[in-house]
Amino acid sequence: MPPLSPQSPSPSHASSRDSVVAALRASGCVFAEDEAELILATARTPDELATLVDRRVAGQPLELVLGWAEFRGLRIAVEPGVFVPRRRTEFLVEQALAHVPDASVVVDLCCGSGAVGAALAASLGRIELHAADIDPAAVRCARRNVAAVGGHVHEGDLFDALPGDLRGRVHVLAANVPYVPSGEVGLLPAEARDHEPLVALDGGTDGLDVLRRVAAEAPRWLAPGGCLLVETSERQAPTAVDAFNRSGLETRLAVSEEMYANVVIGTSS
């Protein structure tokens, strides 16, 4: 068999739509046609097309292959080693906008790519936006998305990363923390398990370790009437609500059956 080269008409070096679709389908992509369109629109040369198809066929998440993820109609830059924003998290953004529609100081804690902060800024207009993450790779990626809307990105452990003068001034504190129970990380789809860092997924024994730390400290940072919003699973929601109540926040749970999303919302009095 001749060695594969960019010129070889093989599935892994496909240069036509049909061969890209065939290669993706053979590797198990359910939405092979849609993915092929996106990959074809992204590749600038036949060599790049071959590389992108190879990466997708090897199991890399589509968003990492493309270099961006769609989130509330925005193209959010994503990079290897950074959590890919999920569409269900759009519900957290919707809830933030519904609860504090005139927010002007926003924090995206555990920001990953910064998708949540960027989406809030896109809807709220001119705001003071701060995003923070413990993972340097996430911070680098968030800078691409958050700096584009005039926000600031900080690196560090939860609130330690934030400028102290934000205390008592935050209208929206969005925190899509890691919330997978440690024992269930191994059950996640391979795209998450193999391509996203453990720090972005593992929330401790019951998945709520980081959430509890955020809920305990949030009241010191929220302005009166400001909201903390956190995503959980359906099963974790009652325990998460309890953690919010114990920190003195007025708490409610918002559920979207359609987006399969649960968001706990705590309002500061």
Ligand X SMILES: C[S@@+](CC[C@H](N)C(=O)[O-])C[C@H]1O[C@@H](n2cnc3c(N)ncnc32)[C@H](O)[C@@H]1O
* Residues lying near ligand X in the complex (CB under 6 A): 83, 85, 89, 110-113, 115-116, 133-135, 138, 157-158, 176-178, 199-200, 210
Tell the smallest beta-carbon distance from residue 162 to ligand X (Å): 10
Q: In whole angstroms, how close is the CB of 160 to ligand X at the nearest point?
A: 8
CB 209 → ligand X: shortest distance, Å?
9
Closer by beta carbon to ligand X, 11 or else 266: 266
Least distance CB 268 / ligand X (angstroms): 21
Residues 6+ apart with CB under 8 A from 90: 71, 72, 119, 259
**Orientation angle between helical segments 136-146 and 115-124, nearest 10 degrees:** 20
Q: How far apart are CA 267 and CA 244, in angstroms?
A: 9
Is residue 115 within 8 A of residue 145, CB to CB? The reply is yes
Least spacing, CB of residue 71 vs ligand X, in Å = 8
Contact 49, 14 (CB under 8 A): yes
Least distance to ligand X from the beta carbon of 262, Å?
14
* Token reading at 134: 């413990």
Between helix 17-26 and helix 32-42 the angle, nearest 10°, is 130
Instruction: Report the distance separating Cα 42 and Cα 13, nearest Å.
Output: 15
Is 21 or 78 the residue whose CB approaches ligand X more closely?
78
Nearer to ligand X, 89 or 236 (CB): 89
Phi, psi for 197 (deg, rounded to 5):
-70, 150
Cα dihedral 106/109/114/115 (nearest 10): -80
* Amino acid occupying residue 168: G
